[in-house]
Structure 1
Amino acid sequence: MKARIIHWCIHVLDKEASIAFYERALGFHVAHEMGPDDGSWSNTYLVNDQSPFEIELTWNRGRTEPYANGGRDTHIAFAVDDMEAARKLHEDMGCIVFDNPRMGIYFIADPDGSWIEIIPGDFSFGE
């Protein structure tokens, strides 16, 4: 069997704020959206030019309780080609929630509190 990751699904309270965050913070854009005609929920798929991976934003009308999408221990990581530019952008956005200078990585949080690890493009474990 061969398997590959195709998307990461997170639940969001404010779909537009989440789309804007992922566009600005990681360069993703809306590829497609699906949901019922009554608009009670939607799945919005975001992509970027760096990989075939998608972020799926699931939104449910009327939801007011925050979702438990995970935190520091449950996260996804993105490798960036320019760590300095990424850090400056994320500092300006005020979304850095944890910094690990010893490892050369840091974490940002989206509007719903989901943690995203930012690592240098040439990062390698154990070397």
Structure 2
Amino acid sequence: MVGIGLKRVHHIAIICSDYEKSKHFYVDCLGLSPVREVYRKERNSYKLDLAVGDHYQIELFSFPDPPARPSFPEAAGLRHLAFEVDDVEASKKRLEEMGIQVEDVRIDPYTEKKFTFFQDPDGLPVELYES
């Protein structure tokens, strides 16, 4: 066995500042499917598990007054969250129809695939990458 036997990404955890706003964004705007939603009274926190296709899961957490995390494109740490789509142009148009500001579509110089970026309600950079 090489390495420690990692098989795939299990989940991606996101802490949001406004649970209802972020839940609407990830479920209603992006179309992710709720798997399980729980309220953890002892932490005054919601946890919403969201399915991304058949493989990955996003855990959306709420906490009272989470501290802001500075985000700069080239800072150390998580750079962005990327989703694969069949048609970047169509997805961009749909997001814009919902009032979400989306950057111009660009072409990856190495793969020649289309991609674009937008932000979630807390400013987390989200990428759409054409399959």
TM-score, with length taken from structure 1: 0.77
Matched, 1:91 2:101: no
Q: Is the 8 A contact 1:96 1:106 kept in 2?
A: no
Matched, 1:56 2:59: yes
What is the RMSD computed on CA atoms of the aligned residues? 2.3
In structure 2, relative to structure 1, the CA distance for the partners of 1:52 and 1:111 (3 Å cut) is: same
**Structure having the higher Rg:** 2
Unaligned runs of 5+ residues in structure 2 are: 109-113
Quote the Cα distance in structure 2 between the aligned partners of 1:75 and 1:37: 30
Sequence identity, in percent? 30
TM-score, with length taken from structure 2: 0.75
Q: Is the 8 A contact 2:16 2:61 kept in 1?
A: yes
Unaligned runs of 5+ residues in structure 1 are: 122-127
Greater relative CO (CA pairs within 8 A, separation 6+): 1
Matched, 1:79 2:84: yes
1:1-127 matches, within 5 Å, as 1-38=5-42, 40-48=44-52, 50-61=53-64, 63=65, 65=67, 67-68=68-69, 70=71, 72-73=73-74, 74-103=79-108, 104-121=114-131
In structure 2, relative to structure 1, the CA distance for the partners of 1:46 and 1:81 (3 Å cut) is: same
Aligned length: 118
- Secondary structure of 1:51's counterpart equals coil
